[in-house]
Amino acid sequence: MSQARRKLLDAAARLFAERGYVRVGINEIIASADVAKATFYQHFPSKEQLCAEWLGEEAERVEAWRRALLDDPRTVRERLEACFSELLDRLEREDFRGCVFATTAAMTDAGGRLRRRVAEQRRNTRDFWRALAAQHESSSKPAKHLGDAWMLLVSGAETEARSTRSTWPVKKAKRAALVLGGWD
Amino acid sequence: MSQARRKLLDAAARLFAERGYVRVGINEIIASADVAKATFYQHFPSKEQLCAEWLGEEAERVEAWRRALLDDPRTVRERLEACFSELLDRLEREDFRGCVFATTAAMTDAGGRLRRRVAEQRRNTRDFWRALAAQHESSSKPAKHLGDAWMLLVSGAETEARSTRSTWPVKKAKRAALVLGGWD
Amino acid sequence: MSQARRKLLDAAARLFAERGYVRVGINEIIASADVAKATFYQHFPSKEQLCAEWLGEEAERVEAWRRALLDDPRTVRERLEACFSELLDRLEREDFRGCVFATTAAMTDAGGRLRRRVAEQRRNTRDFWRALAAQHESSSKPAKHLGDAWMLLVSGAETEARSTRSTWPVKKAKRAALVLGGWD
Amino acid sequence: MSQARRKLLDAAARLFAERGYVRVGINEIIASADVAKATFYQHFPSKEQLCAEWLGEEAERVEAWRRALLDDPRTVRERLEACFSELLDRLEREDFRGCVFATTAAMTDAGGRLRRRVAEQRRNTRDFWRALAAQHESSSKPAKHLGDAWMLLVSGAETEARSTRSTWPVKKAKRAALVLGGWD
DNA sequence: TATGAATGAGTGTTCATTCAT
DNA sequence: CATGAATGAACACTCATTCAT
């Protein structure tokens, strides 16, 4: 990958994560990446497409992490707790903005390309949580219900943690997730 | 309240709800309200302040609805289910954009006035859910944990329903909420 | 009419006539008119619309001149010669660019608004030449053929005079027009 | 001639004829010719020079056609009519844009290289029409006047046919040309 | 109280051209 | 001979806000 393209994606990743798609302009991105404006448009047909590619890279990172977790030999409970630990870690970072997919969806057109990209990632996210729940064999309820509930708790925790800049949502989501998993 | 001010708030309510704070310009608002631009600035010092007042009105509407629900003689379970029904109703409206407080928080500066307004509403929301849970006397666990979990499930359901334009999150959140309440 | 609007139309008239629609940018127009860019867009929805209004004013000026000529008591021959004199006068001006309608048509999309505006003016032009020919009673041929021929000669003269910056086309067009009128 | 050069000239010929010099960018040209941008600048010092070479090729094609017509054994009248037939044929093509020399002159600087190229071709055009008229021996008037008139009628017909996308100008120009030739 | 007119600073995007390889 | 990468300047257009009346 060309150097300019990499710099642009890195700058976009940082700025989009910090302030969101609509609040970051091309000018700021290219200044941050230290490339000319025309260079940007040689690598990306539009700001929207840059965002889509950033979301794609984010999705791939997350998927890799999840694949590893699904193959992890630890118990389901330990791995569930690892998810909340990871979320807490992200939450403590200066630039925490919540789930980039959810926030990007919040500020883009319902029918647009970015929303389709988000919807795809959310489907993958649902698959992940259901797969994790399916490994929880002692569960008396169907794994898909448990997985969906875990996903919603995490999603809610991210949203509320972002909106109020506090950590209670993560801690309480973890507690509820454990209860639903039968570990209370 | 002056007529122009009322028209502006109504137009803002519709447009902000439909497309979000950052995606609506004041030109569109004043055109929709059919007032002159200078009239707008006589009633509101800035677009941000208009948004803050809109959020205030929304918060008051929600609070009134919640106060009524807390005084409602129905069982906690029935009222919990009413919350999800109301959410499903909103979800089915054409212009559903998720929780206006969460989405507004997603597109505004972390330290700004609007974020403080959102944080305040989220605190009230947490109070509501804890109050409802507190009325669920047979609960063996502390009401605050149950209320927080309910809130997170609803918040996650709104976010996921918005991101993917589907209704499963609401249905699954309801199911999990009932389980946590001991009604499974 | 507001002052800024008038200044913009005047600046556009001069610049568009000098260098043509596509070769003049908004920046140059507003600098020449000494108004802010946003002021421009408060008065005209687009550069294209500004051009359309300029063409409209030009068409009106021409039509007024023509109406006067059709009511002029001089002989048809004298008035025909007046047309060529007027053309020669324009030709000698520093910024002669040929017929603004023909040149604008040359640089705009075939199906666009500006082309429709041009086509309308060309229809009016044809009407004028036929009306003038119709007043030439001694003509043995139908006036519409004579009028059309005059129009084509003038149009060709304008085009060739512009392309080569010389005056022969006007002089020769006049000679041919007189021959066709039976005055040779 | 190198292959890239040929492809570039062919692409330019098609695009410039369709939409005009100023409305076609070199990006589009190189994409259409399927060559790299730097390759373009190895063969042509500038877009302007590419246009100049295209005009040169066009002029040569036209000149060849005219030379053949001047050597054609048919009568002057038949060959005059052939000119209008050829114009009608071009007019019926989808991408008719009028005389490429006239339209290019309309959108370029008065003193530039392209305008000089156009002026040269117009001089050749004038020579052609005078030569054709000179072969019309029975003409009582000087051939140069008749030839110039024919040229202006054709030029006007091209301009008006382009501006309004209709065929009447060609038919009426032909009629007038015949009258001037003494064939009415 | 209400307004039409005006604005400086920004938006995302495209231009013809050059450079290092 | 050919190219992928890069560019400064310009493009048409929009933003939230202010001013004179």
pLDDT in tens, D53-67: 999 999 999 999 999
Residue among C102, C149, C175 whose CB faces D159 most closely: C102
* Shared domain check, D155 and D106: yes
* Shared domain check, D143 and D61: yes
Is D154 an 8 Å CB contact of chain C? Answer: yes
> What's the full length of chain C, in residues?
184
| CA-based end-to-end distance of chain A | 49
Stretch A82-105: mean pLDDT, rounded? 92
Q: What is the pLDDT of residue C140?
A: 65
Copy the structure tokens of residue A170: 């993560």
Q: What is the pLDDT of residue C79?
A: 98
Residues 65-84 of A with CB under 8 A from B: none
Q: What is the pLDDT of residue D21?
A: 95
Q: What is the pLDDT of residue C156?
A: 98
CA of C36 to C1' of F14 (A): 13
Checking if the pLDDT of A139 tops 60, the result is no
Give the integer Cα–Cα distance in Å for D51 and D55.
Answer: 6
Checking if the pLDDT of C139 tops 60, the result is no
Q: In this complex, which residue's CA is closest to the C1' atom of nucleotide F11?
A: C25
Instruction: Give ∠ CA C61-C87-C80 in degrees, rounded to 5.
Output: 90
Q: Is residue C50 part of a domain?
A: no
Give the integer Cα–Cα distance in Å for A147 and A136.
Answer: 10
* Contacting subunits of C (3+ beta carbon pairs below 8 A): D
Copy the structure tokens of residue D142: 């000087």
Q: Which residues of A touch B151 (CB under 8 A)?
A: 156, 160
Q: What is the pLDDT of residue B140?
A: 66
Stretch A96-115: mean pLDDT, rounded? 92
Q: In this complex, which residue's CA is closest to the C1' atom of nucleotide F6?
A: A39
* DSSP assignment string, B127-161: HHHHHHHHT-TT-SS-HHHHHHHHHHHHHHHHHHH
**Residue B184 in 3-state DSSP?**
coil
Q: Is residue A18 part of a domain?
A: yes
Contact flag B106-A123 (C-beta cutoff 8 Å) = no
Contact flag D149-C176 (C-beta cutoff 8 Å) = yes
Of A70-84, A85-99, C104-118, least confident by mean pLDDT is: A85-99
Q: What is the mean pLDDT of chain B?
A: 94
Checking if the pLDDT of D141 tops 90, the result is no
Please, how many CA atoms are within 13 Å of residue A42, restricted to the half-sphere of its CB?
12
Residue among D22, D149, D173 whose CB faces C172 most closely: D149
Q: What is the pLDDT of residue A184?
A: 80
Distance from CA of C139 to the nearest CA of D (A): 13
* Shared domain check, C36 and C8: yes
Checking if the pLDDT of B184 tops 90, the result is no
Where residue C29 sits, what CATH number does that domain have? 1.10.10.60
Q: Is residue C129 part of a domain?
A: yes
| CA-based end-to-end distance of chain B | 49
* Shared domain check, C39 and C60: no
Distance from CA of C52 to the nearest CA of D (A): 15
* Shared domain check, D113 and D150: yes
Stretch C156-181: mean pLDDT, rounded? 96
pLDDT band (50, 70, 90) for residue B105: very high
State pTM to two decimals: 0.91
Give the integer Cα–Cα distance in Å for A182 and C46.
Answer: 64
pLDDT band (50, 70, 90) for residue C13: very high
Of A146-155, C38-47, D18-27, D132-141, least confident by mean pLDDT is: D132-141
* Shared domain check, D89 and D145: yes
C1' nearest to CA of C39: which nucleotide? Answer: E6
* Shared domain check, B69 and B96: yes
* Shared domain check, A61 and A36: no
* Shared domain check, B175 and B86: yes
Q: Do chains C and B touch (3 or more CB pairs under 8 A)?
A: no
Q: Which residues of D touch C127 (CB under 8 A)?
A: none
Q: Is residue D50 part of a domain?
A: no
From residue A44, how far is each of A41, A53, A113, D11, D154 by CA, in Å? 5, 9, 15, 25, 48
Total domains in the fold of chain A: 2
Checking if the pLDDT of D72 tops 60, the result is yes
CA of B27 to C1' of E2 (A): 17
Contact flag A152-B149 (C-beta cutoff 8 Å) = no
pLDDT band (50, 70, 90) for residue D133: very high
Q: Which residues of B touch A23 (CB under 8 A)?
A: 22, 107
Is B100 an 8 Å CB contact of chain A? Answer: no
Residues 19-58 of C with CB under 8 A from D: 19-20, 22-23
Contact flag A160-B180 (C-beta cutoff 8 Å) = no
Checking if the pLDDT of B125 tops 90, the result is yes
Q: Could you tell me which residues come within 8 angstroms of residue D107 by beta carbon, excluding any fewer than 6 positions away?
A: C20, C22, C23, C103, C106, C107, D20, D21, D22
Please, how many CA atoms are within 13 Å of residue C135, restricted to the half-sphere of its CB?
17
Give the integer Cα–Cα distance in Å for B58 and B14.
Answer: 11
Radius of gyration of chain C (CA): 18
Q: What is the pLDDT of residue A110?
A: 87
Stretch B63-68: mean pLDDT, rounded? 98
Identify which of D153, D101, D91, D149 has the alpha carbon closest to the alpha carbon of residue D122. D101
Distance from CA of B49 to the nearest CA of A (A): 18
Q: Which residue has the tokens 């910056």?
A: C165
Identify which of B76, C20, B22 has the alpha carbon closest to the alpha carbon of residue D20. C20
Distance from CA of A72 to the nearest CA of B (A): 26
* Shared domain check, A106 and A32: no
From residue D143, how far is each of A45, C169, D73, D85 by CA, in Å? 59, 15, 19, 22
Of B68-77, D87-96, D110-119, least confident by mean pLDDT is: D87-96
Q: Which residues of C touch D165 (CB under 8 A)?
A: 110, 119
Contact flag D152-C148 (C-beta cutoff 8 Å) = no
pLDDT band (50, 70, 90) for residue C138: low
Q: What is the pLDDT of residue A78?
A: 97
* Shared domain check, B175 and B91: yes
Q: What is the pLDDT of residue B94?
A: 74
Stretch D142-152: mean pLDDT, rounded? 95
Distance from CA of A33 to the nearest CA of B (A): 22
Q: What is the mean pLDDT of chain A?
A: 94
Q: Is residue A50 part of a domain?
A: no
Contacts across the C-D interface (CB distance below 8 Å): 139
Domain enclosing residue B2, as ranges = 1-45
> Is-contact B43 B7, C-beta < 8 A?
no
Q: Is residue A102 part of a domain?
A: yes
* Shared domain check, A160 and A71: yes
C1' nearest to CA of A22: which nucleotide? Answer: E11
Q: Is residue B40 part of a domain?
A: yes
Q: Is residue D136 part of a domain?
A: yes
Q: Which long-range contacts (CB under 8 A, 24 or more apart) does D22-28 make?
A: D22/C22, D22/C23, D22/C107, D22/D107, D22/D108, D23/C22, D23/C107, D26/D50
pLDDT band (50, 70, 90) for residue C184: confident
Q: B77: part of which helix (H) or strand (E)?
A: helix B76-92
Q: What is the pLDDT of residue B41?
A: 96
Q: What is the DSSP letter of D73?
A: -
Protein footprint on strand F: which nucleotides are under 7 Å from a CB? 1-20
Checking if the pLDDT of B139 tops 70, the result is no
Q: What is the mean pLDDT of chain C?
A: 94
